[in-house]
Amino acid sequence: MLLEIKNLYFSYTKDKRLFENLNLRLEPGRTVALAGESGCGKSTLLNLIYGLTDWDQGEIWFKGKKLLGPKGNIVPGEKEMKMVAQNYDLMPYSTVHDNVGKFLSNINLKAKKEKVLELLDVVGLSEYADVKPQFLSGGQQQRVAIARSLSVVPNLLLLDEPFSNLDYSRKIELRSKLFSYVERHGISLIISTHEIEEVMPWLDRLVILQDGRLIQNDSPIETYKKPYNEYVARLLGEVNSLTPMQKSALHAPRDFCFPQQLELASSGIPALVLESRFAGSHYWNKLKLADAEIVLYHPTALSGQLKIQFKRSL
């Protein structure tokens, strides 16, 4: 086991704990996402793992070694780990090239330059090698920090909201190259995110936190098909909260459902289309069903009266 968190307790204030008896395991070569609403503890957990913050009780083990945290380490941070927080910690007056190569040996400068250029290609910043970070946008600085963290091929890489400052096109490019690089080099990855759908194709596990509690730890497909509760479902996309009358009429197994779990059917429940809007890959349709409104995704625009049913499988 690469990483094991046992019975972890942590609090910022004496009267309220953030983590209480938290347990988590990570096998080598795995990619895991921490997800949850703001304030649930994602960033704090990364700081605890990396050794930037002391915990109250419990143990954190890494590669069979019990970690000590800041109380036991003169220099904050853990060897064979790298973390990219949301402050980036770059050298503002050195070039992007020098920032990325900060941890690389100068014995073979040719090899160092080749490695730096490879990493700049991974994060899409090849043309910025000679630019100083102070002239870059926040999203570009974030990518420089990611490239630097990859330079030493850590056993465990911790990324705190790595795509938060990127526009959509850059985000698509970076995530594909980043996850491919991590997988190719056998790097274990824990990533915190608000946008699960954007990283789901590359995940081995999805860890959901709610108010400091770990409420679900499953594969992405298991989490999507069987969310623990409506809170988990809403992290995965738009959700319909069903009234008791709607749930009964649709024979739905839970008090909530995704819009894509509804479909047109001649033998379904009558519904009235209130709105139908183009949303790219589908039309977003608001319907009146039973005693409340409900949303259904459909390939084409809908109108008037129709019948819908609950789709049994996603």
DSSP letter string over 29-83? T-EEEEE-STTSSHHHHHHHHHTSS--SEEEEEETTEE---TTT-SSSS-TTEEE
DSSP state of 16: B
Q: Where in the chain is the domain with CATH 2.40.50.140?
A: 240-310
Could you confirm whether domain 240-310 is CATH 3.10.350.10? Answer: no
pLDDT at 313 over 80: no
Q: Where in the chain is the domain with CATH 3.40.50.300?
A: 3-227
Structure tokens at 160: 């705190």
Give the percent of the chain with pLDDT over 90. Answer: 78
pLDDT digits (tens, 9 = 90+) for 247-291: 999 999 999 999 999 999 999 999 999 999 999 999 999 999 999
Q: Give pLDDT, residue 201.
A: 92
Q: Give pLDDT, residue 308.
A: 96
Question: Hey, how many other C-beta atoms are within 10 angstroms of the C-beta on 282?
Answer: 15
pLDDT at 49 over 70: yes
pLDDT digits (tens, 9 = 90+) for 202-218: 999 999 999 889 999 99
In this prediction, residues 237-247 reach a mean pLDDT of: 97
The CA–CA distances, whole Å, from 232 to 37, 160, 220 equal 10, 20, 12
Q: Give pLDDT, residue 314.
A: 67
pLDDT at 71 over 90: no
Single-letter residue type at 303: S
pLDDT at 23 over 90: yes
Domain spanning 3-227, CATH class: alpha beta
Largest separation between any pair of C-alpha atoms in the chain: 74
Q: Is 121 helix (H, G, I), strand (E, B) or coil?
A: helix
